[in-house]
Amino acid sequence: MIFRKAVKEDVREIVRMLADDELGAARERYEEPLPEVYYEAFADMEAQRGNQILLAVEGDAVRGCLQLVFIPGLGRLGMRRAIIESVRVDRAYRGEGIGQVMIKEAIELARAENCQMVQLTTDKSRSDAHRFYERLGFTATHEGMKLVL
């Protein structure tokens, strides 16, 4: 398993994984042709320093992905944070430890960027994901809130 930053040619496979569960199926549009908004969003991410999609790759096949964003801040004495979003592992390879090594790689990248904290959110309905993140050392310290616009 190797890790690399996603490139434009990976967008279709990333969207396929994002759409491949109950929540994702309601949020994403994995279709032919893939909606252009995905490519536009990816271009925006590439242009923003410290924003990337990390891929877990085996051979030529993408097995997992996550978005990793490094954020400088003033709070906590100017602490840098890393935020992990949109974690997915290909359905055919779930349960093989790919998610664990992918999260650990993201944590190491955050350390290399001098981040002092890694944050993530996970939907309240994903109880398996909550246990997974807790096993990796994450703690539920805050209540997250969102306002959909």
In the predicted structure, residue 56 carries a pLDDT above the cut 90 = yes
What is the domain count for the chain? 1
In-domain check, residue 39 = yes
Interval 61-82 mean pLDDT:
96
Q: Which domain holds residue 113?
A: 2-135
Q: Would residue 142 count as lying in a domain?
A: no
User: Is residue 15 in a domain?
Assistant: yes
Which helix or strand (DSSP H or E) is residue 55 part of?
strand 51-58
130 is a domain residue: yes
What angle, rounded to 10 degrees, do the helices at 98-112 and 127-135 form?
Answer: 50
**How is the chain split among helix, strand and coil, in percent rounded to 5?**
40, 25, 35
Token output for 145: 């809130």
The answer as to whether 148 is a domain residue is no
Question: Which tokens belong to 11?
Answer: 């967008």
Q: In this structure, is residue 114 part of a structural domain?
A: yes
CATH code of the domain containing 31: 3.40.630.30
| pLDDT value at residue 143 | 84
- Using the 8-state DSSP alphabet, how is residue 135 labeled? H
Q: What is the mean pLDDT of residues 5-34?
A: 94
Does residue 21 register a pLDDT over 90?
no
Average pLDDT of the chain, as a whole number: 95
Q: Tell me: pLDDT of 146 over 90.
A: no
Residue 145 lies in a domain: no
In-domain check, residue 7: yes
Mean predicted confidence (pLDDT) in 132-141: 94
